[in-house]
Amino acid sequence: QVENVKLLDRYTNRKAANGTLYLTATHLIYVDASAEVRKETWILHHHIATVEKLPLTTAGYPLLIHCKNFHVAHFVIGQERDCHEVYTSLLKLSQPVKPEELYAFSYNPKMSKENREIGWKLIDLKVDYQRMGIPNNYWEITDVNKDYEVCNTYPPEIVVPRAANKAVVVGSSRFRSRGRIPVLSYLYKGNNAAICRCSQPLSGFSARCLEDEQMLQAIREANPGSPFMYVVDTRPKLNAMANRAAGKGYENEDNYDNIRFKFIGIENIHVMRNSLQKLLEVCEMKSPSMSDFLTGLENSGWLRHIKAVMDASVFLAKAVKDEKASVLVHCSDGWDRTAQVCSLASLLLDPFYRTFKGFMVLIEKEWIAMGHKFSHRCGHLDGDPKEVSPVFTQFVECVWQLMQQFPCTFEFNERFLLEIHDHVYSCQFGNFLGTCHKEREDLKICEKTHSLWPFLLQKKQELRNPLYRGFTAYKELQPNTLPFCFQFWCGMYNRFDKGMHPKQCVLDHLLSCVSQKMKLEDNASELE
Amino acid sequence: MPQPAFRFIAQGCPPAVGRPRVVPAPPSRPPRPCRGCLLFPQRVLAAGASPGPFPLLASMEFAELIKTPRADNVVLHRPFYLAVEGTLCLTGHHLIFSSRRQDNAEELWLLHSNIDSIEKRFVGSLGTIIIKCKDLRIIQLDIPGMEECLNIASSIEALSTLDSVTLMYPFFYRPMFEIVEDGWRSFLPDQEFELLSSVTNEWRLSCINKEFSVCPSYPPVVVVPKSIDDEALRKVAMFRHGSRFPVLSYYHKKNGMVMMRSSQPLTGTNGRRCKEDEKLINATLRPGKRGYIIDTRSLNVAQQARAKGGGFEQEAHYPQWRRIHKCIERFNILQESLIKLVEACNDQSHNMDRWLSKLEASNWLTHIKEILTAACLAAQCIDREGASVLVHGTEGTDSTLQAGHPFQQRCAQSAYSNSKQKWEAPVFLLFLDCVWQILRQFPCSFEFNEQFLIMLFEHAYASQFGTFLGNNENERSKLKLPQKTMSLWSWVNRSEELSKFQNPLFEANSLVIWPSVAPQSLQLWEGVFLRWNRPSKFLDEAHEEMINIIKYNKELQAKVNALRRQLAEMETDDRMQENL
C-alpha cells in the first residue's frame, strides 16, 4: 500500500487524481481519494506489458504502466523508495516464470466441481464437425494423433480425407514442418468444398513426397464438384522463397496434380509486433494534429496488415463459395496467419460462427485446438519477447471491422470481443494457457482451472447485439475490402481514453430498449 | 431474408435531387441491389402522389440551347446498378433518362444545376458523356451518333451553367404537395425575438437595415444591445468591413452570455478606433467581467489585413476583451481540400497507404478539427467562463455560418468543376460535416438524423426550392424569392417528410454538449463522401432495425399504459360495486 499517489489523465488537463495504490497478489488497485464518489482503477498483473520509471518531476516519481489491453496508467509517487518498490514488485508480478503461478490456477469463483466440468464441456468440437456433416463419405475424424506421434502441436483427433490412410498421413507429416499435416478446418455444406490447413512443406529446392502429394489429391477428390484445388501460401513470396534455403518452402505446382498455387502476402509476427508498437505510439501522442495522426496511422502499417488478413480470408471464402474449389492454406508453421485466415473465412461463410456459441467454437477449433501459441504470442510467462505478436488481436479486429460493415449479422457486440481479448491476456481462465493441446493436458487445465465461456454466457445480456437479425437472416458475407472500408478501432486501442468515445452510447440505449421490451411484454401479458 | 432496404426518390416531389430514404420494397418486386437515388420504378411513383408537373420539354428560354432534345438507344451507367438502355430527354432544367421498358420502367431525373462538370469521349461514332454531379455522384451516358452526343453535351454544359438566377429551376418549379406552412414565414425575426424577450430585456430589434441601406449583406432586421441606438449602429457599421457590425447570434439562457458576430474592424495601419463599436460590444458584458474575441484568422493574417484597411481589435481600446486567434482556412484552400478528398474517395485503385496519405493530404479532417476546436472554444468561453464572445474573420460571412452566408457564390460548384472561382468554398458542407461529427458523438442529442444533413447538402447545391438561392437577404428580396419560389422548409415541414429526418434516439436535453476533437474521435463522413463508392444496404438495414426496436418499444409502452388504465378503471368499478 502506497499513499499519496497521483494518477495522471493523458488527454485532459484536469487536475490529477490523488489517491492510494494497493498491490494484491493478482491486481494493482488504485483508489482515488479526491473524487467524491469512490473511484477505483484495477489493473491485473498479467495485463501489465511494461513498467517504466520516468525521470523525476516536480510532482514526484512517475511510473508509467502499459497494459496488454492498451490501458496506459501514469502514476506519480511521492517517495522514490515507494516508487522503486512498486516498480520491482510489478516487474516480478507481471512476469511469472512458472505456469503454476498464473492466475487461472488460483482463481476461485466458488463453483462446484461438477459445474466446472460442465463448463469445460460447453464447447464440443465433435458437435461442430457433425454440424458440417462429418463423418461422411469423404471425411473422417481420426484418432491417429492420439499419442501426439503424428504431430505434437495438433489435438489427438483430427479430420482428414477418408482416402488418406495412415501411411499417407504419417508420410505426409514427415514432409510438413513440425508434422502439421493438412487437416480439415471447415467444410462448406453447400457444395462440399473444404478449407484445410497445414504448415509449409519441407520441399527445399526440389524435394518431393509421394504421400504428401497423395494427401492433397485426397483432399481435392473429396470435393468431386471441382477439378482443381487451391493451395494458398499466406506469406509474402519472398519470405517463402527464402525458406527454401532452409529446406522448407512451398508446393511446386508441377509435383501436385491439379493444384493452383497462390501467394497472399501477410507479413510475419515480427512485422506485426513492430506495427502495433508504432500504432500504439500514435494512439498515445499528446494532442496530435489530424496530420500527425493520419500520417502515424499510415506509417504504422497496421490497417494495411488488417486489410491483408481480410483480403486473404475473402479470397478463401470466394474460392469455396463461388468457385466451389477446396483450399489448402498454410504459412510457415500454420498456427498464426493460417489460424487468422481459416477462422475468418469460416466466419464469412457460416452464420453459426457469428453467434455466441459459434464464435466460441471457432476460437476453440481454429486457435486453441490447432495450436496457436497463446502463451508465447501473449507473453503469459517470462520468455522470448520476439515470440510475442498481436496475431489474435488482429483476428479480433478483423471481426470488428466486419461488424462495422454488417451491423445486423452478429449475435454479439463489440464488448464481447473486448472481453475475450482481455481474457486471452488475463490468464484468469484456462482456455488460453499453454501453446497446444498436449501442453494444456500436461498442465491439467480442465481439472485445475475454469473455462471462460460459461462466464461470458452469463453476461450475455450486456454482450448481445440488439440489431442482430437472427441466424437465418444472412448467409455468406462478402465484405468490401477497399481501403476506405477499414476504420481505426478507437474502442480497442484508445479504449481507456473515455474522452475520445461518443458521449452517448447507441449500444447502451438499444440494450436498455431490449431489456425494457422484455419487461413490457411481461407486463402486457400479465395485464391481459 | 429480411425485408430488403430500398431507396428511391421521394414521391410528391420532383426527383431533382436524390434524397435517399428507406422505404419497404413493393412486395412483388425483386429486391434491388441497394440505393438508387434517382432511379425508381414507375409503379411506385404512380402509386404515390404525382412527381410534379412534367417540365415543359423546352420552354422558350431554353429552346435554342437544346438542339437535340431526345436521343434513343442511350446506355446509362451509374453506381450500384447494371447498365441500362433507354431514351434520353433534355428539358430546360432536367436531364431525363427512361428505360421505357414495359415490365420495369426506370427513370433518372437529374437537375442540370446538379451537374458540376462533364467530359466527352468518342470511340468511332459512339459518344460517351461522363457527368459529375455536385452531390459527388458520377454517371455515364453512351450516346450513339457523334452529332447527337456533341449537341447533348453542349446543351448540358450551357444549361448547367446558366448565368441568370431567375432562369433556375426554383423559378419554374410548381409543387404538387399540399403546403401546410409557408416555409418563407417559418423563421421570422419577430417571432424569434419574442422568444428572446421572454428571457431578457437587454436586447432590441433594430430595423436600421430596412432598405439594406446600412449593410447590404445583412437582413433588414437585426438584434442589438438595447442601450445602443441606431445612430451609434450607423457609426459602428462604418468601422466594420462590409458594414457588418456586431449583432446577436446566440443567447445563452443559462447565464445570459451571448455570442455575437461581425466582420473585422477597419483599424488600418494607424490604429483607428470607434468609440461606438467599443460601447456596443462592451454593452454585452456584465460589470467586471471579461469577454473573448475569437478571430478566425491567424495573428499574422490579421496583422497583414491592416495594410488593406482591415485589422483587429487593439487591446488598448478593448481592455475588457481578450483576443484569441483560431485559424480557420477559407475559400480556395477549402475548395482544394474538398477536391482532393473527393478524388481520393473516388479512386478505388488505392492501396491502404496511398488512401491514408491522400486522406491526410486533403486536409479535410484537419479543417473539421479546426472548426470544431474554435466552436468548442467559443462555447467554453460562454458556458464555462461565463463570458460573452464576438466571432469574426475578415468578412464575417463564413466562420459562424448563420444568416447571410453567400450560398450562391459558395455553392455554385462542387468538387469536380475545373473553374476555380475565388469565392467558391465548401463552407456549408464543412459546417454540416461538423454537425455530423457532433451527431456521431452525441447520437441522442439531435432531433434530426444524418439524412437531414445530407438533404441540406444536396439542396444547398441544387434544388427545386429557392431557400439557398441568392447570397443574402438583400439579393433574396430583390429576386422576390418568397413570391416566386417555394421554400425548402415548406416541403420539409410536413409530417410525412419530417418523419424521415427524425432521429429515433432523440431525447430532449438542454445540457451543453462537448464534443471531442481528438483525431481518433473524428471520422470521414461516409454518408456523403463514400455514398456513391460503396453500397450501403447493410448499414441501411441496421438503421431500419434500430428504428423498429424503438418504435416497437413505444407501442408496447402505450399498450401497457392503456391496459393499466383499463385495469384501474375496472378496479374502481369493482369498488363502486362493492360500496353499493
Q: CA of B275, closest CA in chain A: separation in Å?
A: 39
DSSP B220: S
Closest by Cα among B394, B516, B500, B493 to B452: B500
Total CB pairs under 8 A between chain A and B: 157
Which chain B residues contact residue A482 at CB under 8 A?
A: 348, 350, 533-534
Measured CA angle at A168 (ends A165, A172), to 5 deg? 145
Q: pLDDT-derived band of residue A15, with 50, 70 and 90 as boundaries?
A: low
Task: Tell me the CA distances in angstroms from A197 to A186, A230, A353, one per residue in order.
Answer: 9, 12, 18
Q: pLDDT (tens digit, 9 = 90+) per residue, B352-366?
A: 999 999 999 999 999
Nearest to B505 by CA among A172, A357, A502: A502
Question: Residue A301 corresponds to which cell in the numbers above?
Answer: 502499417
- Over range A163-170, report the average pLDDT: 95
CB contact under 8 A, B538 and A409: yes
Q: Answer for the pair A288, A282: CB distance below 8 angstroms, yes or no.
A: yes
State whether B351 and A485 contact (CB < 8 Å): no
Mutate to test the interface with A, among B340, B356, B523 (most CBs of A within 10 A): B356
pTM for the complete prediction?
A: 0.90
Q: Give the Å distances, CA to CA, from B553 to A512, A518, B432, B541, B548.
A: 10, 9, 31, 18, 8
Separation in Å, CA B165 to CA A403, B62, B159, B408: 47, 14, 12, 9
pLDDT higher than 80, residue B58: no
| Angle (nearest 5°) at CA B94 between B92 and B95 | 115
| B517 part of contact set with chain A, CB < 8 Å | no
Q: Nearest CA of chain A to the CA of B261: how many Å?
A: 28
Phi–psi pair at A510, nearest 5 degrees:
-70, -35
Rounded to the nearest angstrom, the minimum Cα separation between A358 and chain B is 21
Residue A300, chain B, CB below 8 Å: the answer is: no
Q: What is the per-residue pLDDT for A222?
A: 96
Residue B444 and residue A509: Cβ atoms within 8 Å?
yes
Q: B539 to chain A, minimum CA–CA distance in Å?
A: 7
Of A431, A264, A272, A406, the closest CA to residue A347 belongs to: A406
Residue B510 forms contact with A (CB below 8 Å): no
Optimal mutation site among A406, A469, A520, interface B, most CBs of chain B within 10 A? A520
> Cα-Cα-Cα-Cα dihedral of A44, A45, A46, A52, to 10°?
120
Query: Which residues of A fall in the annotated binding site?
Result: 268-269, 331-337
Virtual torsion, Cα A368, A371, A377, A382, nearest 10 deg: 100
The answer to whether the CB of A199 falls within 8 A of the CB of A180 is: yes
- Averaged pLDDT for residues A282-304: 96
| Complex ipTM value | 0.92
Longest dimension (CA), chain A: 79
Do A500 and B345 lie within an 8 Å CB cutoff?
A: no
Residue for cell digits 500520417? A295
Nearest CA in chain A to B552: A517
Tell me if B542 and A521 make a contact (CB, 8 A cut-off): no
The pLDDT assigned to B16 comes to 35
- The pLDDT of residue A10 is 59
How sure is the predictor about B210, in pLDDT bands with cuts at 50, 70 and 90? Answer: confident
Higher pLDDT, B129 or B17: B129
Contact B353 A482 (CB under 8 A): no
* Active-site entry in A283, A331, A342, A378: A331
Asked whether A125 and A369 are in contact (CB, 8 A), the reply is yes
pLDDT of residue A277: 97
Q: Residue A412 has what pLDDT? A: 98
Q: How far is B518 from chain A (nearest CA, A)?
A: 7
Set of chain A residues whose Cβ sits within 8 Å of the Cβ of B357: 294-295, 298
| C-alpha B310, offset from chain centre | 30
Q: What confidence category does residue A351 fall into, taking pLDDT thresholds of 50, 70 and 90?
A: very high
Please say whether the beta carbons of B276 and B228 come within 8 A: yes
| Sheet containing strand A2-8, strands side by side | A39-44, A27-32, A17-23, A2-8, A72-77, A61-67, A48-53
DSSP B201: S
Contact residues, A window 7-26, toward B, CB-based 8 Å cutoff: 11
Angstrom distance (rounded) from CA B237 to CA A343: 69
pLDDT of residue B46: 27
Helix (H, G, I), strand (E, B) or coil at B518: coil
| Contacting residues of B for A72, CB less than 8 Å apart | none
Which residue did the predictor score with more confidence, A401 or B317?
A401
Confidence category of residue B402, pLDDT binned at 50, 70, 90: very low
**pLDDT, mean over chain B:** 79
B521 CB within 8 Å of a chain A CB: yes
Residues from chain B that touch A11, judged by Cβ atoms under 8 A, are 518
- Residue B225 pairs in a beta bridge with B203
Considering CB atoms only, which of B441, B444, B563 is closest to A524? B563
Residue among A467, A486, A527 minimizing CB distance to B546: A467
What are the phi and psi torsion angles at A186 (to 5°)?
A: -150, 135
Q: Is B93 helix (H, G, I), strand (E, B) or coil?
A: coil
User: What is the SS3 string spanning B34-52?
Assistant: CCCCCEEEHHHHHHCCCCC
Alpha carbon separation from A275 to A268, A280, A401 (Å, rounded): 11, 9, 18
Provide the pLDDT for residue B332: 80
Q: Tell me if residue A485 is catalytic.
A: no
pLDDT confidence band for A12 (50 / 70 / 90): low
The size of chain B, in residues, is 580
Cα separation values, A259 from A104, A228, A251, B71, Å: 45, 6, 9, 52
Half-sphere exposure of A466 (CA within 13 A, CB side): 24
Helix, strand or coil, per DSSP, at residue A395: helix
Pairing of strands A72-77, A61-67: antiparallel
What mean pLDDT do residues A442-448 have?
Answer: 94
What is the pLDDT, as a whole number, of residue B517? 93
Instruction: Give the residue numbers of the binding site of A for substrate.
Output: 268-269, 331-337
A17-23 and A27-32: which strand pairing?
antiparallel
Distance, in Å, from the CA atom of A517 to the CA atom of A502, rounded to the nearest integer, reads 25
State in words which class domain A2-95 has. mainly beta
pLDDT tens by residue, B412-440? 444 454 443 434 468 889 989 999 999 99
Task: Give the per-residue pLDDT at A236.
Answer: 96
Residue of B380, B399, B366, B394 lying closest to B322 (CA atoms): B380
Q: Does B524 touch chain A (CB under 8 A)?
A: yes
Average model confidence (pLDDT) across chain A? 93
Please give the Cα distance from B428 to B455 (Å, whole number). Answer: 13
Å between B79 CA and nearest CA of chain A: 15
Radius of gyration of chain B (CA): 27
Is B303 a residue whose pLDDT tops 50?
yes
Residues in chain B with CB shorter than 8 Å from the CB of A301 are 353
**A66 band by pLDDT with thresholds 50, 70 and 90:** very high
Please report where in the chains the cell 474554435 appears, as a residue: B374
Model confidence at B60, pLDDT cuts 50, 70, 90, reads low
- The grid coordinates listed for B267 are 483599424
Contact yes or no for A473 and B1 at CB 8 A: yes
Chain A positions touching B519 (Cβ under 8 A) are 288-290, 292-294
Integer Cα distance of A497 and A13 in angstroms: 13
Which three cell numbers, joined as nine digits, stand for A113? 466441481
What number of residues does chain A have?
528
User: Rounded to whole angstroms, what are the CA distances from B37 to B8, B34, B494, B537?
Assistant: 5, 9, 21, 13
| pLDDT value for B409 | 46
Interchain pair A502, B345: CB under 8 A: no
Residue to mutate among A503, A505, A522, with most B CBs inside 10 A, is: A503
Min mean pLDDT across A402-416, B419-433, B447-461 is at B419-433
Cβ contact, residue pair B2, A288, below 8 Å: no
pLDDT in tens, B147-180: 889 999 998 888 888 877 777 777 777 877 777 7
Which of the pair, B51 or A78, is modelled with greater confidence? A78
Q: Do B363 and A291 touch (CB under 8 A)?
A: yes
Q: Tell me how far apart the 2 most distant CA atoms of chain B are, in Å.
A: 99
Is the CB of A294 less than 8 angstroms away from the CB of B516?
no
- Of the listed ranges B120-124, B335-339, B367-371, B461-465, the least confidently predicted one is B461-465
Taking CA–CA distances from A293, the nearest residue in chain B reads: B519
Task: Identify which of B348, B441, B538 has the shortest CB distance to residue A502.
Answer: B441
**A11 to chain B, closest Cα gap in Å:** 9
- Is the pLDDT at A14 greater than 50? The verdict is yes
Please report, for chain A, the start and end positions of each structural domain, with discontinuous segments joined by +: 2-95, 117-476+486-513
- According to DSSP, the β-strands at A326-330 and A193-198 are parallel
Q: Inter-chain contact A288–B519, Cβ cutoff 8 Å? A: yes
Residues 6+ apart with CB under 8 A from A172: A164, A181, A182, A209, A211, A212, A214, A215
Is residue A274 a contact partner of residue A263, using CB atoms and an 8 Å limit?
no
Query: With contacts defined as CB-CB under 8 Å, which chain B residues touch A283?
Result: 520
Residue contact B363–A290, C-beta within 8 A: yes
Question: Is A475 part of the contact surface with chain B (CB cutoff 8 Å)?
Answer: no
The DSSP element (H or E) to which B378 belongs, if any, is helix B364-383
